Chains A and B, each alone.
Chain A
C-alpha cells in the first residue's frame, strides 16, 4: 500500500478497473463457474436434455481405464520432461558460470527455443525422428533399433518428452544463470581458499543457494508440461498411438470438442484446475521465501 495516494471517492478507480473486470468476468469468472456447474451435469451431445448427476462424472472418470491411463501418461511425461529439463539446464548454467569468454554468444543460442512455438518445436522433432525420412531415426535404424513413434507407444512418449524439454530448457537455464550470479563471490572465494574445487563449491554452495529457484522452476515445468505442451501433442502424435501420449489436457480437448462429452470434459477441467491451484500455492511459498530472506 502506498503512503501517498489519491484518496478520492470510488468513482475514478472503478472506471480504471472496469476494462480488466469486464474481460475477467466474461472470459474468466463465468467460464470457470460454468466448468464447475457443468461438471455435475449430464447433457447429451446436442444439449437438449440436462440432468443433475451429483459427482457421477467424477466417479466415472476415476473408474475409467482410459482416464487412469491418461493420468499415468501425464505423470511419466511431466516428470521425465521436468527432470531432463532441469538437469540439462543445471549443467549448462554451471558451465556458463565458469567461463569468461563467449558467455553472451552461448546464452543467445541456448535462448533461441524460447522464441519457437511449442507446436513448431514438436514439428521439428517429429521430422528428425520420422521413421521414413528423419536423419536421427536413420541413425537409430542404423544401430539396429526399430524406431517408429507412429507404432511404438514408448517411442512416441520419448519423442514428445524430448521435444517438450528441448523447447523449455532455455527457460530454466536463464533463471539458473541469473540465480548463480546472485551467489556472493566472497563466499566462493572463501571456499576456494579452504581448498574446495569448483565442482565441490557448486554442489555445497551454489546448489543450496539455488534451492528456491530450482523449486520454482520445477513448479513452472509442471505447469508447462501439463498445459502448454498441448500443441506438441496435437501437432505430433494426436495422443496416440493407443493413447500413449494422451495427456490430461489433450483428453479434455478431445472429450469436449471431438466427442462432445461436455460433463466429463468439464469434470476433467475441474480436476486440472485443482492441480493448477496447487501449483500456484506452491509458487507462493517461493514468493514468501524471496520476500522473507530477500534473496
Chain B
C-alpha cells in the first residue's frame, strides 16, 4: 500500500468478495441440497434456504457409500502415502547430500528422471506391475531359461510361475503413489542449507552418520516435514484414478471413489440430496487440515512446487 486510495480499496474488496462468493456458492448449494428431502431437491426452482433433512441425508450417504469402511481406507492410504514418501525421501536425500560415493550422480539423476512422469500416463503398465509385482522376476527367469537349466541339472520338470498380486491391498494402493521424487528434492534443497559446521562438529564428537541423521538432521527438518505432510495428506486423500482401478472389491474403495457411486445417473433416482451431503462429508477431513494448519500448508505448497 503506497498511497491512500479509498475508491481502489473499495473496488479491491468488491473483487475479493466476488472471488470468495465464487468459492462459496457451490459449497452453499451443496449444503442446501444436502439438507432437503428427495421431493424438495427436485423442485423447480430449488429452495434458497436449507431444509431440515441434513442429518438423515448424512446417515443415508454414510450407509450407501459404505463410508464406515471407505473413510478408514482413505485415512490409511493418505497416511501411508504421507509417511512412506517422507521416510523414503528423507533417507535418499540424506544419502545423496551427505555421502560421496561412486554412483552418487547416477543415483541423483535416476531419482531426478522420475520427477517427470505423472502416474496418469503410465496407468496400464503400472496396473500390470501391481497386478503381479513379481512379473519382472518372471521375465528374468524366462529370459535366463532357469526352468530349462533346472531340468538339465536335476532332471525334473518345473514351471516357474511367480505371482505377487497387490490388487485390492493397501500396499497396492499406496506404493505406486510413493514413487515420485518431489519430496526427495525438497529435502535435498533443505539439507543443502544446513550449516556444514553442524556435520563437522558431529564428526569431531565421533557421531556416526546415522546418529547425526537421527539427532541433528531430523529435528531440524521437522518444519519441512510437517509442511510437506499436509500437502501429501491432501494428495493422498484426493486420489482418484489409481483407487478407481482397484474398486473391484468395494471394501477397498476410498471415500472419494465411493462418493462417485452416489451421483445420480440418468436412469436412477435423482437423489442429489444424498450425493451432496456425501460430498460435504468427503471433503471435510482435507478442509479441516487446511483450515487448522494453514500457515504450514502455505509453506509446504510453495516449497514443494519449486
Binding site for B on A (CB under 8 A): 2-10, 12-14, 16-17, 19-21, 23-32, 34-35, 38, 88, 91-92, 94-96, 98-100, 102, 106, 108-121, 123-128, 130, 132-135, 138, 150, 166, 169-171, 174-175, 178, 185, 188-189, 192, 198, 201, 220, 223, 227-228, 230-231, 234-235, 249, 252-253, 256-257, 262, 265-266, 269, 272-273, 276-277, 280, 287, 290
Contact = CB atoms under 8 A, between A and B. Distances in A.
A130 B11 CA distance: 33
B14 to A, nearest CB: 8
Q: Chain B interface secondary structure, helix, strand, loop or mixed? A: helix
Contacts of A7: 99-100
A98 B12 contact: yes
A272 B121 CA distance: 6
B57 interface: no
B203 A6 contact: yes
Contacts of A174: 298, 301-302
Interface stretch (B25-33, B65-73, B147-155, B220-228): B25-33
Given A126-B263, A127-B275, A96 B283 contact: no
B109 to A, nearest CB: 12
Interface in B118-164: 118, 120-130, 133, 135-136
Nearest to B237: A117
Nearest to B25: A128
Given A17-B96, A265-B124, 7 more contacts: A19-B92, A24-B181, A26-B175, A27-B129, A31-B126, A170-B23, A252-B121
B116 A276 contact: yes
Given A120-B283, A234-B244, A269 B121 contact: yes
B95 interface: yes
A20 to B, nearest CB: 4
A100 B23 CA distance: 21
A14 B263 CA distance: 49
Contacts, number: 322
Contact of A23 (B179, B272, B298): B179
Q: Chain A interface secondary structure, helix, strand, loop or mixed? A: helix
Contact of B15 (A91, A230, A253): A91
Contact of A108 (B184, B212, B291): B291
A127 B273 CA distance: 10
A102 B118 CA distance: 38
Contacts of A128: 25-26, 29
B2 A188 contact: yes
Contacts of A109: 19-20, 23-24
Nearest to B260: A235
A150 B298 CA distance: 38
B143 to A, nearest CB: 14
B289 A98 contact: no
Nearest to A99: B12
Contact of A113 (B23, B97, B270): B23
Contacts of A91: 15, 19
